[in-house]
Structure 1
């Protein structure tokens, strides 16, 4: 079992919160993490993947919850959303911490009835695919916080070797895919994974038998990963009315297959592009959809920028999931063409950090154009960072830095060097 970023948060939540939900895509390690927590606390473990258990939860939610007894784990809770109201009633009668530990492979918080029923009674934790730091055995050091206001010189970083980065991009972070012995076997895993989600989970959430356009839509979104999301353009590309397209897109979001990154818009006086960006979640899945391989990447003059940008988003999300600072994440683009790939911002908006991603091994002053614009126009600007596949952390100004992408798997100060690349 890999050490996970989320472990301390899970332990803390179970100590003071009646209902804890560990939410995330299928095959991210939720059941493994939760089963260990259950065993340590003597909790009963139930899964709604069991047909008999699912029939009971759906057929009589009140009776099902009433018969649970002591502290219990309910795995794959999204399969019986009717039990959430009964969990609320049970918690209102007895608010003992750690009564219910739930897992969900669909974002149940996007279902209004669920979000409303357990407001103030449930803590939601996100378990994403494995981060580079988890794979390296260093889950405790939060690199999003470090980028935001850490001492950049304090993290000794190995060189960002292109072959090592390519391997990480192609592998992604799903534990089962990483365990496969060859790229071909890993590709078979991704194909089966997609088929299982699109054939079973979509039908359950949408209550319809066939959504034949969904694979084509996901494929089209993969080609646009890290680009602006334009529903009118996507509608034409996939041949769907926008109303249907938006419904299907919401399903893909609910199943953690795609994500939209909002545009930064705190300055009403600027002419800003307000469209979100779209990303396929997990670079291994994205590489599979785009039919990328080690040989095809080697043949390219540089690594695909969209793939590297998706990798950085993945890593930021994984670290923000256990950050205590409440940092916001967005992208920045003006109608005049100035852009920054990512903005990290404090909850109050008093401080922001711009992050630009470069797939190359070199950086020059031109790569800081968007960051310099942000610095000159936003008083809350704190620092700007260009992440690149290089060897050294290089200052380009007192508050502008080029930082190797190897920061995501570098060992924190005083700890052993990271494990080898998958």
Structure 2
């Protein structure tokens, strides 16, 4: 089967999604950032699928063979894993032709580390034949062996949701966000060793991944932009201000941010509005896909890293991970309006029900911490399912009908089945 040795595997929730998709879908794509564990996950799935063939396109000889004769390269009888498939775009057409001629499920398991043009066109090239599963860095529940069930529990239970008291305090949460979720960073024993990982990761991203998706003449501009974004993580993206700070044009900044999204370094969180909240501001928020990388870059960029913004980014990225496997089909937004009401995270499901989440970096809660959530509750009425303030304390407390404060650890310790 060509399995590579030396795998250290933390069980991933995405593996069940991949296995399920392979039972009824011809082509399954696992997509995500560099070094989040896509190859390892795919190899484990291949092993659990009673075998198959594996092709790794980071090997120069394998890559040359794929480019020279794509049709022969993909010829097989069972499941074929092709790792880093974006390296040989010509494989797409060959795969499409093969799965059209032989339309049985579970033919190809593909991994990619960028939303490249070829990957973006996959739904068009393979309509009804493919499914893409997004793999993020490890969640806190995957690291701890916790249930990671907050999103489903919030929609199911609403404002009555409570979490078990937890021993974690502000310093513990900051340590977790600085560790992040890249498997290689989590395994490293000291902050100093993790810092070396983040430095090498960022250098790799700029010299390899960015160059793969765009012809960037001034890599220094991209590096400075990443530093500016890390220093204001969790904040609204102001392209004009970033352009002024970098002495480049706003359209160039937009294209650079789009590249950083394409290679899964950052994620834009769109603004949320409804007919009941017409005064909403439409600028997106930006978070880093990995909080540890964001903290590392921010610490090197500014004298006082934005602890509140980094913690908010940490929470939003945990929510985004859960949305890839939750039963609740919901989308992640943020809310801010011209009357200065804001809510850090909005989850809206397909039925239009809304969960509001505020993030506080303190160990105590005040009534005014719920101002934005109360505003939304008044505006939305029955469609407001619940509002939570997630904070660095240990207690779960009610702040009125449908409103509660919970420890941040509720994100990964809550079991939706309880």
**Fold shared per TM-score above 0.5:** yes
- Distance apart, 1:260 and its partner CA: 0.6
Between 283-292 and 151-160, the greater mean CA deviation after superposition: 151-160
Between 284-293 and 330-339, the greater mean CA deviation after superposition: 284-293
Cα contact 1:326–1:346 (8 A) shared by 2: yes
Structure 1 match to 2:139: 131
Cα contact 1:156–1:412 (8 A) shared by 2: no
Structure 2 match to 1:74: 82
Aligned residue for 1:384, secondary structure, equals strand
Mapped partners of 1:109, 1:358: distance in 2: 39
Mapped partners of 1:268, 1:369: distance in 2: 17
Structure 1 match to 2:311: 308
Mapped partners of 1:325, 1:110: distance in 2: 30
Which of 344, 348, 355 aligns to 1:345? It is: 348
- Structure 1 unaligned segments of length 5 or more: list them: 416-422
Mapped partners of 1:64, 1:207: distance in 2: 29
Cα contact 1:44–1:73 (8 A) shared by 2: yes
Are positions 1:50 and 2:59 aligned together? yes
Are positions 1:196 and 2:199 aligned together? no
Indicate how the Cα distance of structure 1 residues 6 and 207 shifts in structure 2: closer, same or farther if over 3 A, else same. Answer: same
- Distance apart, 1:172 and its partner CA: 0.5
Mapped partners of 1:40, 1:263: distance in 2: 41
- Distance apart, 1:155 and its partner CA: 4.1
Are positions 1:147 and 2:154 aligned together? yes
Cα contact 1:327–1:347 (8 A) shared by 2: yes
Mapped partners of 1:73, 1:116: distance in 2: 21
- Distance apart, 1:410 and its partner CA: 2.5
Are positions 1:239 and 2:247 aligned together? yes
Cα contact 1:20–1:123 (8 A) shared by 2: yes
Are positions 1:227 and 2:235 aligned together? yes
Q: TM-score, normalised by structure 2?
A: 0.91
Are positions 1:179 and 2:182 aligned together? no
Deviations 1:98-141 (A, max 9, x none): 110011111247854333112321111111111111111124x4
Cα contact 1:363–1:388 (8 A) shared by 2: yes
Structure 1 match to 2:48: 40
Mapped partners of 1:290, 1:24: distance in 2: 22
Superposition map of 1:253-402 within 5 A: 253-267=261-275, 270-291=278-299, 304-349=307-352, 351-379=353-381, 380-402=383-405
Mapped partners of 1:370, 1:249: distance in 2: 29
Indicate how the Cα distance of structure 1 residues 413 and 336 shifts in structure 2: closer, same or farther if over 3 A, else same. Answer: closer
Mapped partners of 1:340, 1:241: distance in 2: 30
- Distance apart, 1:292 and its partner CA: 7.1
Mapped partners of 2:315, 2:240: distance in 1: 27
Aligned residue for 1:181, secondary structure, equals coil
Indicate how the Cα distance of structure 1 residues 208 and 414 shifts in structure 2: closer, same or farther if over 3 A, else same. Answer: closer
Mapped partners of 2:396, 2:361: distance in 1: 15
Structure 2 match to 1:418: none
- Structure 2 unaligned segments of length 5 or more: list them: 1-8
- Distance apart, 1:209 and its partner CA: 6.8
Aligned residue for 2:110, secondary structure, equals strand
Are positions 1:90 and 2:98 aligned together? yes
Indicate how the Cα distance of structure 1 residues 15 and 149 shifts in structure 2: closer, same or farther if over 3 A, else same. Answer: same
What's the C-alpha RMSD, in Å, of the aligned pairs? 2.3
Structure 2 match to 1:420: none
Are positions 1:170 and 2:178 aligned together? yes
Cα contact 2:396–2:404 (8 A) shared by 1: yes
Structure 2 match to 1:22: 30
Q: TM-score, normalised by structure 1?
A: 0.90
- Distance apart, 1:157 and its partner CA: 3.7
Mapped partners of 1:115, 1:373: distance in 2: 40
Mapped partners of 1:157, 1:240: distance in 2: 49
Which of 101, 104, 125 aligns to 2:109? It is: 101
Mapped partners of 1:110, 1:239: distance in 2: 32
